[in-house]
Amino acid sequence: MKIGTFEVWPPVVLAPMAGITNIGFRSLCREQGGGLFVSEMITSRALVERVPLTFQMIRFGPDERPRSIQLYGVDPAIVGKAARMIAEEDLADHIDLNFGCPVPKVTRRGGGSALPYKRNLLRAILREAVANAGPLPVTIKMRKGIDDDHLTYLEAGRIAAEEGVAAVALHARTAKQHYGGTADWDAIKRLKDAVPEIPVLGNGDIWTADDALRMVAETGCDGVVVGRGCLGRPWLFRDLDLAFQGSAERTRPSLGEVAATMVRHAELLCEVIGSEPHGLADFRKHVGWYLKGFVIGAETRRGLTTVSSLAELRERAAELDGAQPWPADADGPRGKSGERTKVMLPHGWLDDPDDTTVPGADAEDATSGG
């Protein structure tokens, strides 16, 4: 799969996830297999205003290539400035634009998955981003639309292709679906048929490497984007590497092997954050994902989430039943789930899809998340 001048093999992308895809987690996944690994989302305004936290979020490892940033913005001028800044200051090698975030505090301000409904505003943002990114490829990640009555993905895909976007990724759910229900893989096929001239990547319900192969076979997409499927399962990238090479080998780690990966993950977070207490606090949310399916007592789980040092984590990990085999029901949904009753939107947002009014600056809250 080619994205601009970059060849991505296997054709796999780590989805940017707020609070997850920092340099530590990306390093852990890259140790397992190849692909394109995207940073946490940052806002274009925060980048242009040089907010220190934003620059911490876009740090990359010395051997991390290509360096990939996901950028979120609603103002064509600000997005253009951010793209130019990334190119001129060599902050990254690839820019991905977020038009898929379904979080209410983003959509209620006209951002994320709400924005493609304003097709001319979308076009203006893409035009500015591509024009200012210079040689850097610009891609987008989006959803099917706001809800089933307001689908935007086919028109947005055509606009992206016309404006020089290098690839489009589709999470095959609407914003209303959030992370609930089942991803509509047929939509990925329809998008690929609509924009055959650029790579189309599919996203949604890829829990195993075999899911990825099935998505490519059923939709004809050029590659896959993996999000929740790798939570507590960084070795999924090893499986994906093997699968796209035609190998039937799959990783089925014992609890002891999972425990060793947990310790490695925590070590990386502590190193990146520069503090054991803060690194371990950040690691807590990963514990349940790693242990899903294994037979482990509640007290043991609590103990692993309340450790105060890496030494204590290693001790508690060593107390686990290392010989316990990979559970039969260990794969499947992890992380966010559930559908929204409705999508929060700015007042009158659906009145005119051709309106190019730029949402207010508060739509680019630096804490919006991806």
User: Which residue numbers are catalytic?
Assistant: 101
Helical pair 255-273 and 23-30, crossing angle rounded to 10 deg:
140
Cβ neighbours of residue 347 closer than 8 Å, sequence gap 6 or more: none
Alpha-carbon distance of 144 to 76, in angstroms, equals 22
151 secondary structure, DSSP code: B
First to last CA, the chain: 25
The half-sphere exposure of 340 on its side-chain side, counting CA atoms within 13 A, is 18
For 159, the 3-state DSSP assignment is: helix
Q: Count CB atoms within 10 A of the CB of residue 242.
A: 17
3-state secondary structure of 245: coil
Residue 210 CA to chain centroid, in angstroms?
Answer: 20
**Distance of alpha carbon 197 from alpha carbon 326, whole angstroms:** 42
Task: Report which DSSP code applies to 93.
Answer: S
C-alpha count within 13 angstroms, C-beta hemisphere, residue 77: 6
φ, ψ of residue 192 in degrees (nearest 5): -60, -40
User: How big is the chain by its Cα radius of gyration, in Å?
Assistant: 20
Please classify residue 346 by burial: count the beta carbons closer than 10 Å to its beta carbon, then call 0-12 exposed, 13-18 middle and 19+ buried.
Answer: middle
Which residue, among 154, 146, 155, 208, has the nearest Cα to 178 in the 3D structure? Answer: 146
| Count of beta carbons in the 10 Å neighbourhood of residue 288 | 15
What region, left, alpha or beta, does residue 110 occupy, with left being phi > 0 and alpha being psi -120 to 50 degrees? left
How far apart (Å, rounded) are the C-alpha atoms in residues 70 and 202?
Answer: 17
Single-letter amino acid code for the residue at 103: V
